[in-house]
């Protein structure tokens, strides 16, 4: 570390070149920060400690096929089940059928199973007491400029109301927010309404349930409980399929797109280019400084120190650019999310992404610095000073 000023002087020797190289590195890591955030949010969907404790039971036929209400009490009796709740798709849309909103009709105890969804105590009470009440995700509120206390007209793209029209009226009684911004991107984007109101007003539903959510007391029992739940309706006309929330979310995500592959390919192309570019810069820098390095050796710097000096220079270059890039991604993420009106949700960069980014910076720095550093180490003093 005592040679830090030397390394710094090396970097500052050609300010334009260093600045331009830094900006390329910033661009690469900005991209890394944004894309890795997207990848993580896909990977993490439902993958929390709570997600492992919750089982989802849907119809084995198809995810749009409802299950009978009678299952509720039978699931509750399965050994190891702590509590059961249920929900339905509502298929809500605001103003235009194509402006779809994640909206679920949920049982009164639904929120008890989701401790990671934050609701203000008074608002929760208001929700429990208002038949037509809905809780709305904080991001949705912002996106459409809704206020607590106003009426909310939604169209259902699936279910007619009691008067045969698709128009439903609700009262916004509170907001919901995800306690953990990293895994809870969805919670900020949804609308929860009462299953009871939905079932009473909708002539087609007749007490049917889209899916059941079961909380198990002990995570290790989850598999056994899932099998026991499915055994209840085996060979009936409403066979069910139970998975942990994490497994079912992962399954959906996989069907949506192979995000890991796409992000991996893009980043591969980006980093390959980056290695080439910074490698070129470092090679130039060492070529220019051949005689200076020879002077260092003459005044007694051992070979290894010279090697370390050059390596440290390239690692430092990448660390500065990389940290600035990831920090920029941290700032830009919310802007991109807001700009796409919630279509693309970029979560804040997790510690895991930071660690990966730092590891990449050091690794790329070492790779890039290796050849020039070895050249510098092997310099023949006499030749170098003579400029040969």
The pair of structure tokens assigned to 193 is 């309404």
Distance CA 190, CA 168 (A): 16
Q: How far is the CB of 171 from another protein (least distance, A)?
A: 21
Among 45, 84, 87, 93, the residue binding another protein under the rule CB under 8 A is 93
To another protein, the closest distance from the beta carbon of 265 in angstroms equals 8
Residues between 191 and 210 with contacts to another protein, criterion CB under 8 A: 204
Of the candidate spans 19-27, 40-48, 128-136, 366-374, the one that interacts with another protein by CB under 8 A turns out to be 19-27
Does residue 295 bind another protein (CB under 8 A)?
Answer: no
Applying CB under 8 A, the site for another protein has a residue count of 56
CB of 257 to another protein, least distance (A): 5
Shortest CA distance to 267 belongs to which of 327, 353, 199? 353
From 77, 108, 109, 273, residue interacting with another protein (rule: CB under 8 A): 273
Find how far residue 160's CA is from the centre of its chain: 35
What's the min distance (Å) between Cβ of 205 and another protein?
A: 13
Those residues with Cβ within 8 angstroms of residue 241's Cβ, 6 or more apart along the chain or in another chain? 57, 58, 59, 60, 230
The reply to whether 30 sits near another protein by the rule CB under 8 A is: yes
Q: Per rule CB under 8 A, is residue 98 in the interface with another protein?
A: yes
Per rule CB under 8 A, is residue 143 in the interface with another protein? no
**Phi-psi domain of 114 (left: phi exceeds 0; alpha: psi -120 through 50; beta: other):** beta
Q: Which is nearer to another protein, 220 or 235 (CB)?
A: 235
Structure tokens at 177: 């927010």
Looking at the Cβ atoms of 319 and 336, the one nearer to another protein is 336
CB 81 within 8 A of CB 64: no
Exactly one of 76, 257, 331, 374 binds another protein (CB under 8 A); that residue is 257
Residue 65 interacts with another protein (CB under 8 A): yes or no: yes
Q: How far is the CB of 156 from another protein (least distance, A)?
A: 8
Selected range binding another protein among 55-63, 78-86, 348-356, 369-377, rule: CB under 8 A: 55-63
Nearest-angstrom CA–CA distance, 52 and 285: 53
Q: Where are the beta strands (DSSP E) in the chain?
A: 54-59, 67-68, 81-89, 92-93, 102-106, 117-119, 133-137, 151-156, 167-178, 190-194, 208-209, 211-216, 240-244
Q: Check residue 35 for interaction with another protein (CB under 8 A).
A: yes
266 contacts another protein (rule: CB under 8 A): yes
Q: Binding of another protein at residue 162 (CB under 8 A)?
A: no
CA angle 180/194/66 to nearest 5° reads 95
Nearest to 72 by CA among 240, 244, 236: 240
Report yes or no: 84 and 75 within 8 Å, Cβ to Cβ: yes
CA nearest to 193, candidates 140, 141, 134, 138: 134
Residues in the chain: 388
Alpha-carbon gap, residue 90 to 101, rounded angstroms: 9
Q: Which residue stretch of 108-116, 135-143, 216-224, 274-282 sits at the interface with another protein (rule: CB under 8 A)?
A: 274-282
| Residue 31 near another protein by CB under 8 A | yes
Contact 90, 105 (CB under 8 A): yes
Residue 153 is a binding residue for another protein (CB under 8 A) = no
Rank residues 11 and 126 by Cβ distance to another protein and give the closer one. 11
Q: Which of residues 350-379 bind another protein (CB under 8 A)?
A: none
When asked if residue 220 is in the footprint of another protein (CB under 8 A), the reply is no
Contacts of residue 87, defined as CB under 8 A and 6 or more positions apart, other chains included, come to 104, 105, 106, 107, 110, 195, 209, 210, 211, 213
DSSP state letter for 347: P
By CB under 8 A, residue 270 contacts another protein? yes
Q: Which stretch binds another protein (CB under 8 A): 129-137, 257-265, 299-307, 311-319?
A: 257-265
Q: Which residues bind another protein (CB under 8 A)?
A: 16-17, 20-21, 23-24, 27-28, 30-31, 34-35, 60-65, 91, 93, 97-98, 100, 155-158, 164, 166, 204, 237, 239, 241, 251-252, 255-258, 265-266, 269-270, 272-274, 276-277, 280-281, 283-284, 336, 340, 343-344
């Amino acid at each position: 570390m005592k040679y830090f000023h030397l390394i710094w002087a090396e970097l500052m020797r050609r300010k334009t070149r260093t600045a331009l190289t830094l900006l390329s590195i910033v661009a690469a890591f900005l991209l890394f920060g944004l894309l890795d955030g997207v990848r993580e949010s896909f990977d993490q969907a439902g993958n929390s400690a709570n997600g492992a404790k919750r089982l989802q039971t849907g119809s084995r036929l198809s995810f749009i096929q409802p299950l009978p209400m009678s299952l509720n009490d039978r699931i509750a009796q399965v050994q190891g089940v702590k509590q059961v709740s249920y929900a339905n798709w509502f298929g809500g849309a605001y103003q235009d059928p194509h402006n779809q909103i994640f909206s679920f009709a949920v049982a009164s105890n639904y929120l008890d199973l989701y401790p990671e969804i934050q609701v203000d105590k008074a608002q929760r009470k208001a929700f429990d007491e208002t038949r037509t009440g809905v809780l709305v995700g904080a991001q949705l509120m912002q996106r459409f400029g809704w206020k607590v206390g106003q009426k909310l007209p939604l169209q259902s793209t699936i279910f007619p109301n009691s008067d045969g029209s698709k128009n439903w009226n609700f009262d916004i009684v509170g907001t919901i927010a995800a306690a953990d911004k990293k895994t809870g991107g969805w919670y900020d984007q949804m609308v929860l309404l009462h299953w009871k109101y939905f079932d009473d007003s909708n002539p087609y539903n007749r007490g049917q349930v889209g899916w059941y959510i079961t909380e198990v007391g002990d995570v290790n029992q989850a598999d056994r409980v899932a099998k026991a739940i499915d055994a209840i309706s085996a060979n009936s006309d409403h066979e069910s399929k139970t998975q942990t929330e994490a497994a079912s979310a992962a399954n959906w995500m996989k069907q949506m797109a192979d995000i890991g592959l796409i992000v991996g390919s893009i980043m591969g192309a980006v980093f390959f280019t980056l290695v080439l570019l910074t490698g070129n810069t470092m090679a130039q820098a060492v070529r220019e400084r051949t005689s200076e390095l020879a002077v260092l050796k003459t005044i007694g710097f051992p070979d290894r120190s010279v090697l370390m000096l050059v390596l440290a220079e390239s690692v430092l270059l990448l660390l500065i650019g990389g940290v600035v890039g990831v920090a920029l991604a941290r700032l830009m993420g919310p802007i991109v999310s807001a700009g796409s009106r919630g279509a693309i949700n970029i979560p804040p960069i997790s510690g895991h992404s930071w660690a990966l980014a730092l590891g990449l910076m050091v690794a790329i720095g070492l790779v890039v610095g290796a050849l020039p550093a070895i050249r510098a180490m092997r310099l023949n003093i006499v030749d170098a000073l003579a400029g040969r």
